[in-house]
């Protein structure tokens, strides 16, 4: 005899249910640089906007960026720091009465009937009805598979920047970084500013993938960059204590005899980003009028995201039926702002004389021109090879007033000013974005563009440019090195040396692929081979993709795992995507006892 539980009777409607319904013309998901600028453009056209962000402050990645922006002053606040730009954009957002902002709020779902579920202030659940949708949800960091990738102390460079720059937490004492793109390079710079030793940066490629001026900036400060190197392992007793890297051969196989082990407490992974485009894919599936902007559309710099957001906002207005004309020059500017680095030219020889001479230590084509805009005498101009801000700056030879504005505004700290004082010595002015650990009369190690030590020079004067919050430090430098002097070393070599002998256990199969459920590479490969797996959904039997991240992290790495198991990824049935969701208590869904009016 089967005994089934007895169901209780229907007690009627919920007494404490407080439905919250909102309405707007356009819902903007994400209050980062592109979401803010798209909302502004739509508000100018009279649309009622709901701007949603899951953090307590607007700005997105801008809140993590304490360095100065590249690009142009006119189009994307070049020369200002991300944290300053976030304040400016939020201030503008708050001037529009037709923009309503919900921070500490997540979009829990998009529904087929053109509505969205909001978890407001992580207390109340609301349904919002809207006509148009802007997805500017940003990007998530990519991961790497290697032994020890799951132990405490291994995390993304973006998470590190969040701790250090947004939350003001000194999370580490000694870090190593994998990946030489702009995210990794900038994270190294932010670490140095926070008083954290950066032991090194490694990249498997033979050249830095970020801007050369970013790489040169940190090399000048004493951070080594190991190209053609890969991470072998992170090890320690319950936390990161060592990281081992090795040079790779022509097939990118690690050369174990050339391994190096460093003592660190943190390993940052900065190997790229993946667009958070699930909202957009769902919107398209359900027939929404939607656009995507910023990193949700294409991974690029925040300067590009701001300009792209403006364009996306106007594109949505056209989709909604508004008679809008988008300036064609905007598209050209947007393309330039997201340009990859161009050609790198050789360093020219600069002759130092009795007149002040600006020296440009940037030789790679990147979208940047604030030094041109701030020069009061117009003595800095761009070459005309490309006809855009990708052209390199040069000093025309006209009168330089030594105002220091070009030095202070340069995002790459790549400009110095020099003047001959006698037959043996010169005066050189260099930028410094640290609280000076030296004073007038001290001797400080100076480096060239590539970070090579050239000499210890006497500090003659320290002054702060308040507008750009950059110190201008005047040195007495030997005449022969005056044109070479490009930076101030802030960490010494004895802090960044590897151990005398490498220490590691190289066992790749032990690497954790699915961090949420703690499933290793070896387990997955064995399961695929033993069961002839050709459907990624079958991996759920061993809990792959069943964790809190909804397979958003491990799914990116599955093609490599299937390949390692001898299976062509293009012949594998793709795993069913889990619904967009955030954990919401049942009491919050019915707004039980909230007593709040939104």
Q: What is the pLDDT of residues 455-511, one digit of tens each?
A: 999 999 999 999 999 999 999 999 999 999 999 999 988 899 999 998 876 556 666
Is residue 131 one of the residues assigned to a domain? yes
14 belongs to a structural domain: no
| 13 within some domain | no
Q: What is the CATH number of the domain that holds 235?
A: 3.50.50.60
Domain count, the chain: 4
Residue 133, phi then psi, degrees to nearest 5: -135, 130
| Mean pLDDT (whole number) for 539-565 | 83
- Compute the distance between CA of residue 363 and CA of residue 10 in angstroms, rounded to an integer: 75
Q: Mean pLDDT across the stretch 32-60?
A: 96
> pLDDT for 171-215, tens place per residue?
999 999 999 999 999 999 999 999 999 999 999 999 999 999 999
Percentage of the chain exceeding pLDDT 90: 70
The whole-model pTM stands at: 0.86
pLDDT in tens, 283-337: 999 999 999 999 999 888 888 899 899 999 999 999 999 999 998 888 888 889 8
Nearest to 38 by CA among 288, 317, 302: 317
369 plus 303 within the same structural domain: no
pLDDT-wise least confident of 19-33, 130-144, 311-325, 328-342: 328-342
Classify residue 146: in a domain, yes or no.
no
Decide if 579 is inside a domain. no
Same domain, 201 and 325: no
Co-location of 445 and 475 in the same domain: yes
202 vs 15 pLDDT, higher one: 202
Q: Which contacts qualify for 548-552: CB closer than 8 Å, 24 or more apart?
A: 548/516, 549/515, 549/516, 550/577, 550/578, 550/581, 551/575, 551/577, 551/578, 552/140, 552/278
Asked if 289 and 199 sit in the same domain, the reply is: no
Look at residues 222, 309, 221, 215 and name the one whose alpha carbon lies nearest to residue 270: 215
Please indicate, yes or no, whether residues 92 and 75 belong to a single structural domain of this protein: yes
Report whether pLDDT(146) > 70: yes
Range of the domain at 514: 508-571
Give every CB contact of residue 399 below 8 A, 6+ residues apart in sequence. Answer: 355, 377, 379
Average pLDDT over the chain, rounded to whole?
A: 91
The CA-to-CA distance between both ends of the chain, in Å, stands at: 53
């Amino acid at each position: 005899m089967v005994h089934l539980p007895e169901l209780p009777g229907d007690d009627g409607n919920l007494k404490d249910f407080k439905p919250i319904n909102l309405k707007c013309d356009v819902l903007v998901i994400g209050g980062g640089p592109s979401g803010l600028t798209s909302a502004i453009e739509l508000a100018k056209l009279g649309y009622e906007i709901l701007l949603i962000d899951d953090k307590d402050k607007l700005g997105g990645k801008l809140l993590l960026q304490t360095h100065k922006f590249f690009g142009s002053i006119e189009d994307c606040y070049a020369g200002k720091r991300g944290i300053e730009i976030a304040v400016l954009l939020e201030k503008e957002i708050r001037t529009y009465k037709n923009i309503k902002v919900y921070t500490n709020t997540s979009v829990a779902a998009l529904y087929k009937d053109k509505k969205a579920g909001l978890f407001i202030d992580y207390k109340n659940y609301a349904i919002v009805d809207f006509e148009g949708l802007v997805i500017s949800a940003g990007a998530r960091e990519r991961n790497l598979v290697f032994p020890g990738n799951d132990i405490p102390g291994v995390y993304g460079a973006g998470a590190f920047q969040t701790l250090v720059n947004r939350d003001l937490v000194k999370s580490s004492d000694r870090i190593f970084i994998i990946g030489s793109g702009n995210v990794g390079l900038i994270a190294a710079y932010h670490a140095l500013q926070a008083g954290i030793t950066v032991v090194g940066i490694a990249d498997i490629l033979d050249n830095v993938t970020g801007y050369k001026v970013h790489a040169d900036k940190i090399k000048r400060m004493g951070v080594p960059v190991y190209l053609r190197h890969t991470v072998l392992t992170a090890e320690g007793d319950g936390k990161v204590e060592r990281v081992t890297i090795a040079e790779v051969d022509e097939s990118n196989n690690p050369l174990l005899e050339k391994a190096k082990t460093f003592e660190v407490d943190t390993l940052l992974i900065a190997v790229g980003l993946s667009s958070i485009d699930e909202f957009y894919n769902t919107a398209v599936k359900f027939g929404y009028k939607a656009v995507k902007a910023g990193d949700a559309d294409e991974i690029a710099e925040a300067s590009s995201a701001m300009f792209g957001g403006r364009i996306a906002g106007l594109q949505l207005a056209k989709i909604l039926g508004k008679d809008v004309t988008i300036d064609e020059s905007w598209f050209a500017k947007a393309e330039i702002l997201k340009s990859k680095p161009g050609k790198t030219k050789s360093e020219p020889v600069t002759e130092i004389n009795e007149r002040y001479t600006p020296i440009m230590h940037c030789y790679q084509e990147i979208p940047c021109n604030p030094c041109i805009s701030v020069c009061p005498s117009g003595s800095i101009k761009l070459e005309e090879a490309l006809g855009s801000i990708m052209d390199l700056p040069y000093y025309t030879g006209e009168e330089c007033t030594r105002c220091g504005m070009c030095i202070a505004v340069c995002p790459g700290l790549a400009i110095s000013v020099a003047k001959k004082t006698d037959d043996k010595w010169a005066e050189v002015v260099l930028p410094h974005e640290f609280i000076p650990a030296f004073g007038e009369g001290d001797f400080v190690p100076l480096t060239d563009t590539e970070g090579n030590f050239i000499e210890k020079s006497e500090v003659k004067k320290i002054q702060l440019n308040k507008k750009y919050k950059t110190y201008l430090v005047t040195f007495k430098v030997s005449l022969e090195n005056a044109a070479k002097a490009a930076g101030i070393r802030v960490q010494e070599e004895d802090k960044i040396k590897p151990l005398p002998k490498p220490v590691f256990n190289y066992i790749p199969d032990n690497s954790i692929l699915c961090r949420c459920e703690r499933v290793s590479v070896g387990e997955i490969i064995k399961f695929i081979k033993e069961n002839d797996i050709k459907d990624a959904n079958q991996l759920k039997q061993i809990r792959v993709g069943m964790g809190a991240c909804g397979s958003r992290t491990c799914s990116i790495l599955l093609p490599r795992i299937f390949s390692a198991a001898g299976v062509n990824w293009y012949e594998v049935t793709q795993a069913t995507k889990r619904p967009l969701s955030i954990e919401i208590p049942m009491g919050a869904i019915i707004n039980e006892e909230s007593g709040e009016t939104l």
